[in-house]
Structure 1
Amino acid sequence: MNSRTEKLLITGPAGEIECAVDLPPEGQVLRGVAVICHPNPTQGGTMDNKVVQTLARAFVQLGYRAVRFNFRGIGRSAGAWDEGRGEVDDALAVIAHARDAALPLALAGFSFGGFVASQAARRLEASAERLCLVGPATSRFDTAPVPADTLVIHGEADDVVPLAAVLDWARPQALPVTVVPGVGHFFHGQLPLLKDIVLRGWHPA
């Protein structure tokens, strides 16, 4: 993401997992740790996806240590695509490595990564502080129910995951969804707006 991004390999269930860590500026109080999950690896998704990097920048600005990672079989991460099952295990391994008992944990994900974040949150013994899901792939993967304070952001014109599918998932939970008018799945040309929505949504007025 920038020259200060730290790259590292950690041990995961299918071998090494490639991670990238960004820290808030020196002197800023560290508020927590945010683990961010990337979109579908079979469709070119990586931890360097622009939406994922935008989420990382937002969390860094909020004072979090932002941790991105490549799912198995992507970049320098070992293993092969496991249809979402092993990818949730990958996320849990990264969370276990990155988590600091003294700091809150935030989970975020884009598209397929939203599904992974939801399932990881459900399996965590110690709950996450809060979740942020952007364009969650509710029409393609079994996205778990999430806490009521989850920040869900979706584009009105999403042609990959229809808005109706996200509303169908959110409705039984009485879960609010922030809809961005006219925006597609990848938030082309609207990444600054996406970042601003996260910054404002994480600190409700």
Structure 2
Amino acid sequence: MLIRETPVFIDGPVGQLEALYLDVADARGMVLLCHPNPVQGGTMTNKVVSMLQRTARDAGYVTLRFNYRGVGASAGNHDMGSGEVDDAEAAVRWLLAQHPGLPLTLMGFSFGGFVATSLGGRLEADGVAIKHLFMVAPAVMRLGEHDSVPQHCALSLIQPDTDEVIDPNIVYQWSDALARPHELLKVAECGHFFHGKLTDLKDLVLPRLSN
């Protein structure tokens, strides 16, 4: 039986946020997914985000993906910074309210990697536990002095080694400088959008969700 996501609208800081929500019975956890750069056409239905959502579904997780302000039917205008993190916080608070006590995992692709990481730091500072953070081809250069990386969750950094959007060396240098334990997973002969490599991405993520 195919399980389909349900369209929902969530109260955000500047108006409604359009989202897709998947509830599953006997879930092992829940995942919030953050999409890529809205100025460059990124939405919650981006194919990488969609693959991550299906991977989480197949591992038995509740999922929520959403459009930032100014994307799709979400209200407001692009902020390209803390505003999108505010949106993500509103989305995750909604998800936490639906499933109190379920372990929380965050996933972000590209610009969404910045959003998910900054959100994770905020949540930890507020006493909200995170089980795992997945940063996929992340825009680490956007992380500033006010963005803290969460310290108490598992952290998986997945980087295509021929990324044409985000310089892989910037990600590798960021990883080298990151003091907290984490894993860096390089995807060979792979561009930013994982063309022809989406199953490779799933093969990296699925076992890490299943353990």
CA distance in 1, matches of 2:143, 2:77: 18
Which position in structure 1 is the counterpart of 2:102? 103
- Relative to the length of structure 1, the TM-score reads 0.91
The answer to whether the Cα contact below 8 Å between 2:122 and 2:148 also exists between their aligned partners in 1 is no
Tell me the SS of whatever aligns to 1:29: coil
Q: Which runs of 5+ in 1 are unaligned?
A: none
Paired positions, count: 200
Deviation at 1:141, TM superposition (A): 4.5
- Relative to the length of structure 2, the TM-score reads 0.89
CA distance in 2, matches of 1:203, 1:115: 24
Alignment of 1:106-125 (within 5 A): 106-124=105-123, 125=126
- Work out which of the residue numbers 148, 157, 166 in structure 1 matches 2:162: 157
Which position in structure 2 is the counterpart of 1:90? 87
Deviation at 1:202, TM superposition (A): 3.1
Identity of aligned residues (%): 41
Which position in structure 1 is the counterpart of 2:133? 131
The answer to whether the Cα contact below 8 Å between 2:56 and 2:209 also exists between their aligned partners in 1 is no
Code of the residue aligned with 1:6 in structure 2: it is T
CA distance in 1, matches of 2:150, 2:137: 14
2:184 matches 1:173: no
Tell me the SS of whatever aligns to 2:154: coil
Tell me the SS of whatever aligns to 1:183: coil
The answer to whether the Cα contact below 8 Å between 1:5 and 1:22 also exists between their aligned partners in 2 is yes
CA distance in 1, matches of 2:3, 2:206: 23
Deviation at 1:79, TM superposition (A): 0.4
CA distance in 2, matches of 1:73, 1:167: 32
Code of the residue aligned with 1:88 in structure 2: it is V
Which position in structure 2 is the counterpart of 1:192? 199
CA distance in 1, matches of 2:150, 2:121: 8
- Work out which of the residue numbers 41, 44, 48 in structure 1 matches 2:45: 48
Deviation at 1:144, TM superposition (A): 4.2
Deviation at 1:149, TM superposition (A): 2.2
